[in-house]
Structure 1
Amino acid sequence: MHKKRTHPVLLVRPASSCRRRGVLQAGILRLPCALGRGGTSIFKREGDGATPVAKMQLMQMFRRDRRLAQVRSALPGRGIRQDDGWCDAPQHPAYNRPVRLPFAASAEAMRRHDHLYDLVIVLDWNVRQRLRGRGSAIFLHCAKSGYEPTAGCIAIAPRDFIRLQAYLRPGVALEVRR
């Protein structure tokens, strides 16, 4: 009898002291993380600032220039270009998809002036099975100093991507719990 091979799950739980911060667990690692300004939600909606409570596959990785070059991953990915964006307009056909800037509808710039998107892991929240208004651009990305809340993503310290790199591969999921 063959055992079914299971992939690891990155587990995120909100901190007991603050619903906008959490702990990302990967094997024996426990890493602090930032969550959405709206905490976590099982009813995620576009613009609510909440991190969705869900199990999401790691889909692809984007990197700005050669930043965090020491982080290796088997995830498909590429560098972030000057004109890369992510559509967050629920009524547009490209909703929750990468787009080229300038873009006629609302879109988030992927090449930011801060360092939040130096390394971005796209999570499968509302990507493969897209529903208008259920939320877009849910990523694992670099945290602001002090782990300030995100707009709905999960954010970790840049140095923690190095510690987490063994888990950054196809088949791994990130699960946010309440």
Structure 2
Amino acid sequence: MGARFLGRHLPCSIGRGGITTNKREGDGATPIGAHRILGMMYRPDRMHAPASWAEPIRVGDLWSDASGYADYNQLVRAPYVESCEQMRRPDPLYDLVMVTDWNYPVATAGKGSAIFVHAWRKPRHPTAGCVAFSRSDLLWLAANIVPGTRLIVKP
């Protein structure tokens, strides 16, 4: 699996559930389609801002995966009692995160949440549905994309 951008080929990982046209919350699949990058977030305690439009991930930042709630597939703040993901993870996977427009900013319950672009755990290791790159390739992408850049996932 790989990506192409500005003439470069970049190895990447996709979801453990493969790719799908019928994305569901928790299926581990990466949705097929042309997704826009709408946001970029980074850990300011671990790196400098990778782009002028990147926002810091703050202590207490979470991402809701609580399908059926008004804040489903949105950045939320602790304390939050519904199902969510920690944005400030102890590992480096979310040190730099690009937020796609998959089911965001207006979410349909159950259609999947937190479809991000982030660092891979190890080369080609599957994600929970995101697209992941090596840290060096992710940093290169962050320096070269703008809001609205397309991430195209093909069948």
TM bucket by the smaller chain?
A: over 0.9
Structure with larger Rg: 1
Distance in 2 (CA, whole Å) between partners of 1:51 and 1:169 is 22
Equivalent position SS for 2:123: helix
The alignment of Structure 1 onto Structure 2 pairs a total of residues equal to: 155
Equivalent position SS for 1:25: strand
1:117 counterpart = 2:84: no
Distance in 1 (CA, whole Å) between partners of 2:103 and 2:153 is 14
Runs of 4+ in 1 over 6 A off after TM superposition: none
Equivalent position SS for 2:142: helix
Q: Partner amino acid for 2:95?
A: D
Gaps of 5+ in 1: 1-21
Q: Is the contact between residue 67 and residue 119 of structure 1 (CA under 8 Å) also seen in structure 2?
A: no
Q: TM-score, normalised on structure 2?
A: 0.93
Distance in 1 (CA, whole Å) between partners of 2:23 and 2:139 is 29
Distance in 2 (CA, whole Å) between partners of 1:26 and 1:108 is 29
1:141 counterpart = 2:97: no
1:58 counterpart = 2:37: yes
Q: TM-score, normalised on structure 1?
A: 0.82
Distance in 1 (CA, whole Å) between partners of 2:83 and 2:128 is 15
Match of 1:89 among 47, 66, 73: 66
Q: Which position in structure 2 is the counterpart of 1:45?
A: 24
Against the structure 1 CA distance between its residues 93 and 115, is the aligned structure 2 distance closer, same or farther, given a 3 Å change threshold? same
RMSD (CA atoms): 1.5
Q: 1:166, CA displacement in angstroms?
A: 4.5
Q: Which position in structure 1 is the counterpart of 2:57?
A: 80
1:150 counterpart = 2:127: yes
**Percent identity among equivalent residues?**
42
Q: Is the contact between residue 64 and residue 79 of structure 1 (CA under 8 Å) also seen in structure 2?
A: yes
